[in-house]
Structure 1
Amino acid sequence: MATAKSSQQSKDNASVEKTSMFRRMVQKLKKGSTEDDLEVGTKNKIKTSQRGSTEPSLRDGKKERVLKKSRELKVACWNVRTMQDREESDRPQRRSALVARELAKLDIDIAAISEVRFADQGSLTEHGAGYTLYWSGKGKDERRQSGVGFMIENSIANKLQNLPVGHSDRLMSLRLPLQDNQFATLISVYAPTLQADPGTKEVFYSELRSLLASVNEADKILVLGDFNARVGRDNEVWPGVLGRHGVGNCNDNGRLLLELCAERGLSITNTLFQQKARFKTTWRHPRSKHWHLLDYILVRQRDISDVLHTRVMPSADCFIDHRLVRAKLRLSIKPPVKRKGPQMKRVQVDRLLGLREEFQSKLDVRLNSNKGQWQKEDPESQWKQLKAALQETAAEVAGYSSRKNRDWFDENDPAIDALLQTKRSCHQRTLSKPDDPAAKVAYREACSTLQRKLREMQNNWWVNMAEKTQHFADIGNVRAFYEALRAIYGPTHRIQAPLRSADGSQLLTDKPAILHRWSEHYGNLFGDRRQVQEESIMRIPQHEVRVELDNTPTQEEVKTAISKLKCHKAPGVDGIPAEVYKVGGDALLERLTGLFATCWEQGVVPQDLRDAVIVSLYKNKGEKSDCSNYRGVTLLSIAGKILARVVLDRLIPTIAEENLPESQCGFRAKRGTTDMIFVLRQIQEKCREQNMGLYAAFIDLTKAFDTVSRDGLWKILSRLGCPPKLLAILQQLHEGQKGQVKHSGDLSEPFPIDNGVKQGCVLAPTLFAIFFSMMLREAKEDLTEGIYIRFRTDGSIFNLRRLLARTKTLEELILDLLFADDCALLAHTEEALQTVVNHFAEACKAFGLTISLKKTEVMYQKPPRGTYTPPQISIDGQSLNAVEHFTYLGSVISNDATVTKDVDSRLGKACSSFGRLQKRVWKNHSLRLSTKIQVYRAVVITTLLYGAETWVLYRKQVRLLERFHQRCLRCIMGIKWQDYVTNIEVLERANLPSMEALLLSKQLRWAGHLSRMEDSRMPKAVFYSELCQGKRDRGAPRKRYKDQLKRQLSSAGIPVKEWENIANDRNAWRAATKRGAESFETARRESAAEKRSHRKAAAAQSAPTQGFTCPACSRVCGSRIGLHSHRRACRGGQPSQ
C-alpha cells in the first residue's frame, strides 16, 4: 500500500512539474502572442527584423526569400476538402492557386494539406502564388475521398534535398534539413472519421506508429493534419501530452490520438497556449453549430521549447469548412547548396524569327571582327569563339524567355488579388463584429462578387483561347494549334517519386542521393564497354573503300543539314537552339562550314559537340522507384547535330543502303511500322489459307542502342568501306563523350559514356541498323529455315493462276521482320523456329548484345485443322513465354489471324484519348464545333485507326467502330437519344464521313501505295505472293485482304481490272479514292434514308386491327395490358382531377 502511495505521489509530482513548466512557457510567450490577435494585413508588415531581412517577403514568384539563420519557421495544417476542380461545384476553380494565395497572405512556409483527393503521387507548382504542392493519394481507378500533401513555399521547395515521401493516401513525410546539422521530420496526416470502420482506424494508427518509429531519434518531429479527433482538456490525466488550454470533451478518436502521443512522447501544441476560443477551434458541426478542435500540430515533448505559438487563423478562407492551424517554430532551415555551373537560359526564339535581319547584321559584325585570327585556331578554340558570338548576339537581339503563365488564373493575377483582398477585409470585419448583420451581408456579397468575376475571367480567357485555336486551325499552323490545346490543360502534374538504391534495399528521397543514383544508373549503363568477336568481324567481306566520302564538307551540305533541323526542340549544353542557326545567314554558314572543315582535316571535334545532358522520362509502366522504368532522353548540341547530319547524308545512300536488309524498316525513307505489320498479317493470312502452321518469336533486346560495342562498330564500318576521315569524325562524335543527368533543375557530375550509339543523335538509328544487320547476317549464315513465298508482280493481284508460271515467278525466304531493334523471327515448325532462335542467340553473344528472356515471347498459329499446343522454345535452357497474342509495333497480333483483339485495343486507346479531352475541349462551350471536330479527327480518329490499313474487317467489327464514332460525335454535339436524331444527321452536322468510308479511303490509299512500291520491297512481294508450301482447301476461303480490296474497289466505282494502272499515278489515285469514298458515302446515306422511310411506312400500315374497349368510358386500347392499365385510372368517363 505504501509502495502504491509512493508511486502515485511521484506521478503527481511529475504532473505538477510538467504543468508548472507549461505555465512558465505560456507566461513567457504571452507577449509574443499578442501580435497574432492583429489583422492579417497588419501582421505581414510588422517585425520584419524577425524574418532576418528588412525587405518584405514576396510570394509572386518574382523574388525569393533569403533564408537567414534567425528567421522563424511557420508551419500549418489545413483540410482543404478537395483540390480537384469540378464544373458542378459552387467553389471557384483553380483551388490549388486559391489555397496557395491564402498561405502566402499568412506567410506560411510549409503547410500539411488534408483531403487533396488527387490520384497517385506527384507535384504541382503554382508559380503565381509561389508554392509547390506535393501529394500522395489513391490510384486513378479507386474512389478518392482522402489524400494528403505538403504545400511548400517555392524558395524552399526548389532547394529541398529530400523529396516528400508518400506512404499511403493518409500519410506523407518530409525530412527537412535545419541549421547545425539537425533535421526535422514533418508528417502530414488525415485520420479516419469517427464513423469509420474500427479496422480502418487500427490500420491508420498502426501505419503512423511504424512511421514514427522509423524516424531518426535525433530528428525533431512535427505531425500535422486533420485527426478527426477531439482530445478534450484533461491535462492531469494526460500530462505532457495535453496543455492546460484544451477544448471540449474527448471522444473515441481523441483517445486513440492521446494514446499514440503518450506512447511516442508527443505533445499537442494546440493546447499549450491561452487564447480566445475562436483561435482554438477548427471545425463547426453542420447540425449542432458547435465548434470543435479536430486539426492538430504535434511535436516531441522534449522540443516544445521550439514552439513559439500555435493558433487557429480564422482569416484563412477558401470556401471550405475547416480553419487553418498555424505554428511558429524557433527553427532555422539549413541554407541550400548552390547549384553548380551556370544555369541554362532559353532564347526567345519566336521573337528571334521576327528580327532575322537585325540578328544577321550584328552577328556579321561579331564574326568578322576576328576572322583572320579565327582561321588559325584549333577546332576547340574556333567553336568557343563561335559559341560566344551566337549566345551574345541572340541574347542582345531576342533576349531570354521567362516562364509563360498561360492559365487564366495567372494571367488575371492583379485583378484576382484585389478581389481576394476585398473578400478578406469583409471576412475580417465579420470576425471582429460577429453580431453585425451589415458585415455579414457585405461578406456574402464579396464572396458572390468574387465567384462571379472569376467565372467571367475564366470565360473571357476561354473565348480568347478558342479564337486563337480556331485561328491556328484556319491558317494550318499545326504546331501552334496543338500548343494552344496543351495550354488549356493548366498546370502540369509532375511525377514525383523517390528512387531505390542500386541494390534495392534503400528508398532515396534526398535530391543529392537521387541525382547520384541517376548518375550511377547511366554510368553503369554506358560504361560497360562491350566487344565483338574478331572472328565475326573478319567474316564480313571487305568492301572497296569509298574515297569520295572523305571530301571536305561543302557549304551546300551544311546548308542542307541546317534546313533539316527541327525547330522548337530543347538545345544541348550550350543552350543555342536550332532557330539561331536557321536565321544566322551566310556569315554563320561560312563560319560553321569552316569549323567543320577544320574538324575534318584534323580529325578532332569540340567537346561541346559530343557531350550530352540526359533527362529521364517515366515509361508509364512498372515501379516509379526503379530507374530501369525510365527512358533517358538525350539533349545534344545543335552544332553537333548539324555535323552529324552532314555525315549521315553521306552514309545513307552509300554504305547504309547497300548493306541494310529489305526486312529492316526502322528509320528509313519511305518505310514505316505499317510495312512490317502488313507483312506479318499477310503471312498469317496465307498460312491459314494454305493450311500451314506459323511460329513467331518476338525478340526483345536489353537496352539495344545503349549496348552497341563502339570498337566493333568502327571495325564493321571499316570492313564496309568507310574511309578514314569519315570514320575519324564518327569516332570523335562518340569517343570521349561525357554525360550529365538533369533532375529537378540540377546537373550531376559528368560521367563517361563509353558504350552504345549516341542517343538523340540523327546518326544513332542508322549506325545501329548497320550493326544489327551485320549481326543478323551472322545469325542467318547457313540457315534454310523460314517462310518461303512465291511471287510475281507483273500480273493482277486477283488472278491466282499467274503464279503457276514457274519461269516467271520468284521465290524469297522471309525469316525476320525488323523495325530498328524490334525483331520478329518466323518459321513453319517448332523445330525450325528453335534452330533460328539458337542461331540468333549465338550471334547476339558474338556481337555483345543481350536478349531479355523475360520480355521475349513466342506465338503459335495452328493450321485450320490442327490442334493447338503451346510452343516450347528456349534460349540457354530457359523457356520463353508462350502467348496467344502479342503487341507488335503498336498493333495486337493474334494467333487466330483476326483483328478482333487489335480493334478492341484501338477502341480502348481511342476512348482514353477522347476522355482526356472531355472537360477541356468537348465540354468547352467557347470552342466552335468545327474546331472540336478538327481536334476529334486529328487526335481520336488517328488513334483509333492506327494500323487499320492492314485490317480485314467483318460487319460486326465495322459496327463497333461506327458505334464508337457516333457516340463520340453525339457527346461532342450534346445530342441525346431522346432527341431522335439519326446517325446520318449526326454525320451531316459534324461534316464527317462514316467510319466505313474512312476505312475505305484509308485502305484504298494503302493499296495504291503497295502497287507503286518497287518490286524488291517485301510488303509488295508478300502482297502478290503465295506460300511455296501448303495446299488450299476446296470451297471459298475465309475472307482475305484481296477479297476485301476487290469489294472496296467496286464500292468506290474504281474498275477492278484497271486499278493498278490508275494507282501508278499517285495524284490520280488519290483523286480517284477521294471521289470513290465520297460516292460510297452518298450511296450509303441514300440507302439508309430509303430503309428508314420503308420502316416508317411499314410501321404506319401495321396499326393494330383489334381493339380493347373500356366498358366505363368506351376508350379503345391497342392491347389487353394497355386496357388493364387504363382501367386502374379510369373514372367512368369523368375527367380526372
Structure 2
Amino acid sequence: TNPNCLNINLNNSTRNPALQGYVGVYVGPTTHYTKTPVTNLQEASEQNGRRWTRPRNPNLSDHDLRIRNKQLRFGTWNVRTLASPGASEVLSNELERYNMDLVALQEVRWPHNGKESTENYQIYYSGNAEGKYQKGVGFAVKRQIDSAVTSFEAVNERICIIRLKGRFKNISVICMYAPIEDAESEDKDEFYEELEEIWNRLPNYDVKILMGDANAKVGREMTWRNIAGKESLHEYTNDNGTRLLSLAVAGDLRVVSTTFPRKNIHKETWNSPNGITKNQIDHVLIDNRHKKNIINVRSIRGAECGSDHNLVLIKIKQSLATEKKNNSNQLPNINLENIKDPIKASRYRELLSTKFEQNAEAEEMDLERKWSRLKNTIQDCARDICGEKEKRRRTNPWFDRECSEEVERRKTMRQKWLETNHDEDRRVYNNQNKATVKLLRQKKRRWLNGLITRAEEDRTRNNSRDFYRTLRFFSKEYKPKAYGVKDKDGHLIMQQKEGLERWKEYFEGLLNGEVRERQEPTIKYQNVQPRIEIPSIEEVEKAINELKNNKAPGEDGINSEILKAGRDIIVKQVHELIVEVWEKKIIPHEWKEAIVIPLHKKGDKQECSNYRGISLLNNTYKVFSKILLKRLEAYTQSIIEEHQSGFIKGRSTTDQIFIVKESIAKYWEFDRECYLLFVDFSKAYDSLYREELWLKLEKFGIPEELIDLIKISIVDSKCKVKVNGETSETFLVNTGVRQGDGISPILFNIAIEEALEKVNKENRGIHIGKKINVLAF
C-alpha cells in the first residue's frame, strides 16, 4: 500500500528480463531487489538440483562479455625485434591466443613512428628518429577496442603514451624501456627525469599506468614496503630498481608487479641465454588512487615470439567506451575477375534480361524509384554471378602454413626447455629458433623473387598496369601510416567518429567558397534557341564503352566493367533513364553525391591541409556527363582560343611547355633576359561563381536547354568523406563545379576565356620586353 514501493508484475510476459526473479522491497528512499524463487525457470532449475543462472545473450562474444564485466587484459612484453620477417604475424597470433587487449611493447626496432596493422591488432610505435633499427617502443591494441584510443604520443625511442576512453574514467598508459643496469648514470638520469615529467603531466583524474622493461630488480626490503609488495622475485634492489622506486615515491605510484603471491616461475620476466639466470625486470606501476583496480599480475611463460623475455599479464578492473563499426553503408565489393570469364559474363546478361523483363510488368514509377530499381538489379545480378571479393587478410602473403608450423615447433621446444631446464633442451630450442628465422627469411626472399619474375612476364606481355604496380612496390620508400588527424587548433583526434567530423569540416570549408548574392541578369544574349536532340542509344553505348576500367565506383557501387559486361541489355535501361532525365530536367539524388577520398600529398600526415581529395562519382552519372560533354564541345570549339590547351581535343599542355622551353632557349641564344610569370589558381574549380558561369555560357551562345542540363548536374551537389572504410554525413557544395566530373574542365575554360582574351589583346599593364604571350594550361 506504500505509494513509494516499486511493484513488479512477475507474471507479465513482457516484463524487463533484467528484473526477472527479483521483487522490489521498499526500505527507504531507494528500492532494493530481493531474490525470490518466483519464476518457473528458476523453480525448475532448483528442483533439478542445479543453481539457476541467467541465460547468456547469444549476440555477445566472449570479448564483449568480458569488456561489459569491466575486466581488461593488459600486458607488457619485450619482443626483442619486430623488424625480422614474420615477427609481427607471430606476435599478433600469440597475443590473440592469450586474448590480450593492450600490450606495451619494447625493442620494436621500427624506425620513426606510426601505425601498422596485423590481422588482429593495431600496432602504434615510436622508434628511432634517425631511421635506425634499434630500441623502439609501442602498443599492440586489439581491433575491438581500437575505437577507444583517444591519443597516442610518440615521445622517443624509449617512451610512448596511449590514452583510452573509459566509460567512467579514461586510462593513460606509459610504455617505458629503461637503460640497462650497466648504462652510464647520465643516461639513466636523463631517462628518469623525462619519465617523471611525462607522468606528472598526465591528467590527474585518469587511471594512470606505467609498465615496460625497466631493467630493474625490486627487492623485498622493508624500506620500500609502502611502494612495492613483498612478492618480488629478488631479495635486494639494484641501482635501476632504486631509481624506479624513487620515481614511484615522487609520483605516488604502487609497484603492483610485486604485490600478488605467485610461484617464482610466474614472477620471472627474463631468462639468460644459458637458462641459469632468471630475473624479474619488467614491471607494472599504477597510481595509488587506482591500485585496487589491478586484480592480477603474472608472467606468461607459454607466450613465445623468439624473445628472451616473458609476456607479463595484467588484469585490470575497468571498462572502455568502444564504438561499434557501422557496416550498413558498405558498398558491394564485386569480384571483377569473374566478369572477365565469358561464361559467367553470359550468365550475368541472362540474369539481367530475366530481371528486367520481370520489372517491365511492374507499375509506372517516378525517376528516383526507376534509378533505385536499376541500381539494385545490376548490383544483385553482379553479386549473384561474380560474388564478392574476400576480405584481404592483414598478413604477409608469404607467411603460409609451413611458416606457422615452424613457429609452433619453436614454441614446443621452448616450452620443453622451460619445463626441464636441461642444457640439451636449450640447445635444441636454440637450433630450432635459428631454423625458424632462416625459413621465414627464405620464404620472404622467395616471394620477392616471384614478384620480380612476374613483373618481367608482365613487361614482355605488355601488361603495363601490373608491371608498374610491382615496380612501384619495389621503388617506393617506406612510409608509416598516420594515426589520427589534427583539428583546427592542432590537437590530435584519435577516435574515428570525431576524426570523420574533422574531415567533413575540412572538405566542407575547402569545397565551399564565398557565396555571392544572386543578381538577375540585365542582358538577354539569345532570342532563338536551337533544338537539342535527345541522346540516342548509340551515344549511350559509346559513352559506356569509353568508361575507364580499374577505377573505384561511386555511391552506386557499380564498376564500369559491370556496366560494359551487360552490353545492349544495360545500354537499353540506361538509355531510357537518361532520356527521362533529359526531358524532365531532373536527375536522381544519388547522381548529385560524390565520395571524397583524402590522398596524402606532402608533409605531416595528421594535417588535413596536406591532403587532396579525389571525388568518386557514380558511373551511370558519368555516362550522362560524357554525353553532355560531347554536346558542349560542339559549341566550345569556336569559343576557346589557341592559347588554351588544357582539356581541349587535339591540343596538349606539352605543346605549351615546348613553347616555353623554345622561348627560353632563343632568349638565351641572343643573350637577352627572359621573364616568365606563372599564375596558379588556388582552388580553381571550387572558386567559380555559378550564377556568373551561367551568364558566361549564355553569352557565348550555349543553348538554354543545354545550360539547364548543366545546372541540374551541378546545383545542389553533395559530398561525403570516406576514411578507413567509414563514411561521413553528406554536406552541400554551394560554389564551383564538381570535382571529378568530365564537364568541369571545359566549364572552367569557358569561365576564364574572356579574362584571358583581355589580357592577351588589350594593351594594359607593365610591359617587359617586346611582347607578352598568354599560355593557358
Equivalent residue, structure 1, for 2:8: none
Which position in structure 2 is the counterpart of 1:636? Answer: 617
Alpha-carbon distance in structure 1 between the residues aligned to 2:227 and 2:631: 80
Q: Which residue does the alignment assign to 1:404?
A: 392
1:542–1:211 CA distance, 2 compared to 1 (3 A): farther
Q: CA deviation at 1:242?
A: 4.7
Question: d(CA) in 1 for partners of 2:739 and 2:202?
Answer: 41
Q: 2:101 aligns with which of 109, 126, 130?
A: 109
Moved more, 576-585 or 465-474: 465-474
Give, in angstroms, the shift of residue 432 of structure 1: 0.8
Q: Which amino acid aligns with 2:82?
A: M
1:119 to 111, 124, 132: 111
Q: Deviations over 1:398-451 (max 9, x none)?
A: 1111223596x44554333333222222211111111263x3354345435434
CA deviation profile, 1:297-341 (whole Å, cap 9, x unmatched): 222222222222212223332223333222122233334244274
Unmatched segments (≥5 aa) in structure 2: 1-52
User: Which amino acid in 2 is paired with 1:610?
Assistant: K
1:559 aligned residue: 541
Q: Which residue number corresponds to residue 169 of structure 1?
A: 157
Partner of 2:248: 261
797, 813, 816: which one aligns with 2:774: 816
1:204 Cα deviation from its structure 2 partner: 4.0
- Which blocks of at least 5 consecutive residues in structure 1 are unaligned? 1-48, 59-63, 86-92, 790-812, 820-1137
Give the number of equivalent residue pairs: 721
TM-score by length of 1: 0.59
For the aligned residue pairs, the C-alpha RMSD in angstroms reads 3.5
Q: CA deviation at 1:124?
A: 1.8
Which residue of 455, 459, 466 corresponds with 1:469? 455
Within the candidate set 545, 550, 561, 1:568 is matched to 550
User: For 2:337 and 2:66, how far apart are their aligned partners in 1?
Assistant: 37
Q: For residue 361 of structure 1, report the CA deviation from its aligned partner.
A: 0.9
Q: Measure, in 1, the Cα distance between the counterparts of 2:370 and 2:70.
A: 50
For 1:45-64, list aligned pairs within 5 A.
none
SS of the equivalent of 2:612 reads: strand
The 2-side partners of 1:209 and 1:545 are apart by: 82
2:634 is equivalent to residue 647 of structure 1: no
- Summarize the Cα distance change of 1:442–1:403 in structure 2 as closer, same or farther, 3 Å threshold: same
User: What corresponds to 1:82 in structure 2?
Assistant: 81
Per the alignment, residue 345 of structure 1 pairs with 332
CA contact (8 A) 2:78 2:105 kept: yes
**Rounded Cα–Cα distance in structure 2 between residues aligned with 1:405 and 1:177:** 28
Q: 1:143 offset after TM fit, Å?
A: 3.5
* CA displacement 1:330-375 (0-9 Å, x = unmatched): 233334244274222311011122121111110111112222657x
Residue 215 of structure 1: SS of its match in structure 2?
coil
| Equivalent in 591, 598, 606 of residue 580 of structure 2 | 598
Equivalent positions of 1:32-431 (< 5 A) are 68-70=67-69, 72-85=71-84, 93-127=85-119, 130-139=120-129, 141-157=130-146, 159-160=147-148, 162-179=150-167, 181-194=168-181, 201-234=188-221, 236-237=223-224, 239-247=226-234, 249-284=236-271, 290-339=277-326, 341-354=328-341, 355-371=344-360, 373=362, 376-405=364-393, 409-410=396-397, 412-431=399-418
Structure 2 counterpart of 1:711: 691
Q: Secondary structure at the match of 2:141?
A: strand
- Cα gap change, 1:544 to 1:420, in 2 (>3 Å): farther
Deviation at 1:249, TM superposition (A): 3.9
1:447 and 1:200, CA in 2 relative to 1: closer, same or farther beyond 3 A? closer
On the 8 A contact 2:219/2:237 being kept in 1, the answer is yes
Matches within 5 A, 1:582-731: 582-621=564-603, 623-655=604-636, 657-731=637-711
CA contact (8 A) 2:543 2:626 kept: yes
Q: CA deviation at 1:192?
A: 3.9
Question: Per-residue CA shift, 1:166-202, capped at 9, x if unaligned?
Answer: 33333332222334x3321222233344555656555
Deviates more, 1:575-584 or 1:242-251: 242-251
| Structure 1 pair 689–389 and aligned structure 2 pair: CA distance change class (3 A) | same
Aligned mates of 2:530, 2:157 — CA distance in 1:
66
- The 1-side partners of 2:576 and 2:87 are apart by 56
Q: Please tell me whether Structure 1 or Structure 2 has the larger radius of gyration of its CA atoms.
A: 1
Rounded Cα–Cα distance in structure 1 between residues aligned with 2:647 and 2:361: 42
- What residue is the counterpart of 1:12 in the other structure? none
Report the counterpart of residue 44 of structure 2 in structure 1. Answer: none
The residue type paired with residue 597 of structure 1 is V
Contact 2:145 2:322 in 1 (8 A): no
**Aligned-partner Cα distance in 1 for 2:727–2:584:** 32
- For 2:427 and 2:179, how far apart are their aligned partners in 1? 36
For 1:507, the equivalent position in structure 2 comes to 492
State the Cα distance separating 1:629 from its structure 2 match.
1.3
- Which residue identity is paired with 2:255? I
Q: 1:229 to 1:696 in 2, by over 3 A?
A: farther
8 Å contact 2:125–2:136 — kept in the other structure? Answer: yes
Please give the TM-score of this superposition, normalised by the length of structure 2. Answer: 0.84
Match 1:752 to one of 714, 727, 732: 732
Q: Following TM superposition, by how much is the alpha carbon of 1:596 offset from its aligned partner in structure 2, in angstroms?
A: 0.8
User: Residues of 1 paired with 2:668 and 2:74: CA distance?
Assistant: 70
Q: Equivalents in 1 of 2:774, 2:152: separation in Å?
A: 48
Contact 2:719 / 2:733 at 8 angstroms: preserved in 1? yes
Amino acid at match of 2:464: V
Distance 1:661 1:161 in 2: 56
Q: 2:86, 2:440 within 8 Å by CA — same for their partners in 1?
A: no
Residue 73 of structure 1 aligns with an amino acid whose one-letter code is L
3-state SS of paired residue (2:577) = helix
* 2:392 counterpart letter in structure 1: K
Structure 1 residues 581 and 670: alpha-carbon distance in aligned structure 2, compared to 1, 3 A threshold: same
Aligned to 1:454: 440
Query: 1:253-302: per-residue Cα shift (whole Å, max 9, x none)?
Result: 43332222222222222111222334333335669964333322222222
The answer on whether the counterparts of 2:118 and 2:394 sit within 8 Å (CA) in structure 1 is no
Contact 2:512/2:686 (<8 A) preserved: no
Secondary structure, in 3 states, of the residue corresponding to 2:77?
strand
Instruction: Report deviation, 1:57.
Output: 8.2
How many Å apart are 1:611 and its aligned residue?
0.4
Distance in 2 (alpha carbons) for counterparts of 1:193 and 1:679: 66
In structure 2, distance between residues paired with 1:205 and 1:126: 32
Q: Who is 1:847 aligned against?
A: none
Q: Distance in 1 between matches of 2:639 and 2:186?
A: 67
Q: Which secondary structure does the structure 2 equivalent of 1:694 belong to?
A: coil
Equivalents in 2 of 1:455, 1:663: separation in Å? 58
1:79: Cα distance to partner? 2.1
SS at match of 2:737: coil
Cα deviation for residue 69 of structure 1 reads: 1.0
- In the aligned structure 1, how far is the partner of 2:710 from the partner of 2:170? 50
Q: Which residue of the partner structure matches residue 26 of structure 2?
A: none
How far apart are residue 386 of structure 1 and its match?
0.3
Check whether the contact 2:115–2:481 (CA below 8 A) recurs between aligned residues.
yes
> Relative contact order, CA 8 A, sep 6+: which one is greater?
2
For the residues of structure 2 that align with 1:419 and 1:499, how far apart are their CA atoms? 40
The structural deviation recorded for 1:737 is: 1.8
Change (3 A) 1:165 1:660: farther
% identical aligned pairs: 27
* Distance (Å, rounded) in 2 between the aligned partners of 1:174 and 1:291: 30
Taking a change above 3 Å as real, the CA distance of residues 250 and 670 of structure 1, as seen in their structure-2 partners, is farther
What one-letter code is carried by the residue in structure 2 that aligns with 1:625? Q
Structure 1 position 485, deviation (Å) = 5.1
**2:508 pairs with 1:523:** yes
Residue of structure 1 aligned with 2:481, choices 486, 495, 503: 495
Is the CA contact (8 Å cut-off) linking 2:218 and 2:232 kept in structure 1?
A: no
